[in-house]
């Protein structure tokens, strides 16, 4: 996800690969021990750690109390201005049961004012069995030219290339401080760190990453160590992070936000440039964001966001990721403009994605309607949606956004 222009569909009938809910890092204190019903729905629950099993139980209980419209709403993250949501956006969040939001644009209002904005948006969250299902609130806070939230209480973060020149211990410490600032502003999830590797020979000719110095370095090992340190600092402050943009935007020239048909003709399923994603997943990253470029040596027929080969086979099976797969922007990005909003949402979920991100909240109704229609006619898609909703709810449990007491 790149917010650099601001001022200042294939379908697979196969079920989603991997076991949902197991690898999300979850707090046992959020919910009780797994019930017999939860173990029947997810037989693996009794075999996993107590925190993961507890969150599985919590997610099951919330899921079982939801209407279908509420479940579908959990699959969407809508963009709202960080300076304050419009009445139309708030109405869409409420009417479509949208479960997550992204603060977009630029704000210099500071932590206290941002917290007031967030608290107002949280009032749109659904209730299930009389208990609030908290909104997951995210933003882009990488540093350099990609820092949505500024002002009193927020540090000015240097770009990632500068961060990559620090020791990992320094970066981890600084990142924990930045995460604490986001937490005080009410943000649960940072759509960072960038795990893309831009080779030095490409440098600033790489439009989405290198041009803005968003990479931590020019080799897989440096990017892995420093994106990992950034994520570790955020985890220390209990703010979740997102590895992006899988399987990497470092070896392209075009920017998928502004350009159609961006193709990576180099990366393979065994590329060393996947190392930062692999190490981040092994460290327990709860979210991975999927690129909207095409990777011709992995799946030449689909952009990554619509590719079961990229999401199910490479990310889920080969790299073992069990957390939440989130899209890059499917609202305004030129890379997806040839598809209708309905095709974008159904294509991403069919390929194995979990959380549809659109900075253009007004298209969410068309997306939710399409998802509901496909669920009525496609049992495999319906089962995959259930898995995705459980993953999102489990991530919310880890952030303390569900009440299962």
pLDDT higher than threshold 80 for residue 37: no
The alpha carbon of 317 is separated from its chain's Cα centroid by a whole number of angstroms, namely 19
If one counts every other C-beta atom within 10 angstroms of the C-beta of residue 5, the result is 9
pLDDT at residue 52, rounded to an integer: 73
pLDDT of residue 47: 45
Owner of token pair 């649960």: 188
User: Contact, 191 vs 244, CB < 8 A?
Assistant: yes
How much is the pTM? 0.88
What is the reported pLDDT for 57?
85
177's CB contacts (< 8 A; 6+ apart) are 155, 233, 237
The pLDDT tens digits for 185-206 are 999 999 999 999 999 999 999 9
Is the pLDDT at 172 greater than 70? The verdict is yes
Domain assignment of residue 53, yes or no:
no
Note the pLDDT of residue 1.
52
208-224 pLDDT, tens digit per residue, is 999 999 999 999 999 99
Average pLDDT over residues 358-379: 98
Please give the Cα distance from 192 to 181 (Å, whole number): 15
Max intra-chain CA distance, the chain: 57
Alpha-carbon gap, residue 96 to 125, rounded angstroms: 10
- In 3D space, the residue among 319, 322, 279, 315 whose CA is nearest the CA of residue 299 turns out to be 315
Total of domains in the chain: 1
Domain assignment present for residue 17? The answer is no
241-273 tens-digit pLDDT: 999 999 999 999 999 999 999 999 999 999 999
∠ CA 181-214-340 to the nearest 5 degrees?
Answer: 95
pLDDT of residue 39: 33
Nearest to 149 by CA among 193, 196, 117: 117
CATH code, domain carrying 162: 3.20.20.300
In a domain, 113, yes or no: yes
Is 80 exceeded by the pLDDT of residue 150? yes
CB 33 within 8 A of CB 54: yes
Query: How far is it, in rounded angstroms, from Cα 277 to Cα 227?
Result: 9
Residue 367, pLDDT > 60, answer yes
In a domain, 394, yes or no: no
The answer to whether residue 7 sits within a structural domain is no
Decide if 233 is inside a domain: yes
Whole-number pLDDT of residue 21: 32
Length of the chain: 405
Is 388 inside a domain boundary? no
Provide the domain limits for residue 294. 75-379
Kindly state whether residue 176 falls inside one of the protein's structural domains: yes
The contacts of residue 29 (CB under 8 Å, 6+ apart) are none
Do 327 and 359 contact (CB within 8 A), yes or no? no
**In the predicted model, what is the mean pLDDT of residues 335-345?**
98
């Amino acid at each position: 996800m790149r917010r650099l222009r601001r001022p200042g569909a294939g379908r697979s009938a196969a079920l989603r690969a991997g076991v949902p809910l197991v690898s999300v890092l979850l707090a046992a204190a959020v919910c009780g021990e797994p019930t017999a019903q939860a173990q029947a729905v997810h037989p693996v629950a009794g075999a996993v750690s107590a925190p993961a099993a507890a969150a599985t139980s919590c997610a099951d209980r919330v899921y079982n109390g939801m209407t279908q419209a509420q479940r579908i709403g959990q699959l969407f993250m809508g963009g709202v201005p960080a300076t304050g949501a419009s009445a139309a956006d708030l109405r869409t969040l409420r009417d479509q049961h949208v479960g997550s939001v992204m603060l977009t644009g630029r704000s210099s209002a500071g932590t206290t004012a941002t917290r007031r904005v967030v608290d107002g948006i949280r009032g749109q969250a659904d209730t299930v069995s009389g208990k609030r299902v908290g909104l997951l609130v995210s933003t882009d806070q990488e540093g350099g030219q990609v820092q949505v939230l500024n002002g009193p209480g927020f540090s000015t973060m240097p770009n990632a290339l500068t961060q990559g020149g620090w020791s990992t211990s320094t970066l981890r410490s600084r990142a924990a401080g930045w995460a604490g600032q986001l937490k005080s502003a009410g943000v649960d999830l940072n759509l960072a760190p960038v795990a893309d590797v831009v080779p030095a020979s490409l440098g600033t000719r790489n439009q989405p990453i290198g041009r803005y110095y968003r990479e931590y370095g020019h080799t897989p090992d440096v990017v892995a160590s420093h994106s990992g340190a950034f994520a570790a600092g955020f985890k220390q402050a209990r703010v979740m992070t997102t590895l992006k943009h899988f399987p990497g935007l470092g070896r392209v020239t075009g920017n998928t936000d502004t350009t159609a048909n961006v193709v990576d003709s180099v990366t393979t399923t065994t590329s060393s440039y996947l190392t930062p994603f692999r190490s981040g997943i092994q460290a327990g990253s709860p979210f991975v964001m999927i690129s909207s470029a095409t990777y011709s040596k992995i799946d030449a027929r689909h952009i990554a966001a619509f590719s079961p080969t990229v999401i199910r086979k490479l990310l889920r099976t080969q790299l073992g990721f069990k957390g939440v797969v989130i899209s890059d922007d499917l609202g305004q990005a030129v890379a997806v403009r040839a598809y209708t909003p309905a095709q974008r949402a159904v294509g991403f979920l069919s390929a194995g994605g979990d959380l549809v991100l659109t900075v253009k909240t007004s298209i969410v109704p068309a997306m939710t309607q399409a998802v509901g229609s496909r669920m009525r006619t496609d049992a495999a898609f319906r089962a995959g949606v259930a898995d995705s909703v459980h993953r999102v709810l489990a991530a919310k449990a880890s952030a303390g956004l569900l009440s299962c007491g």
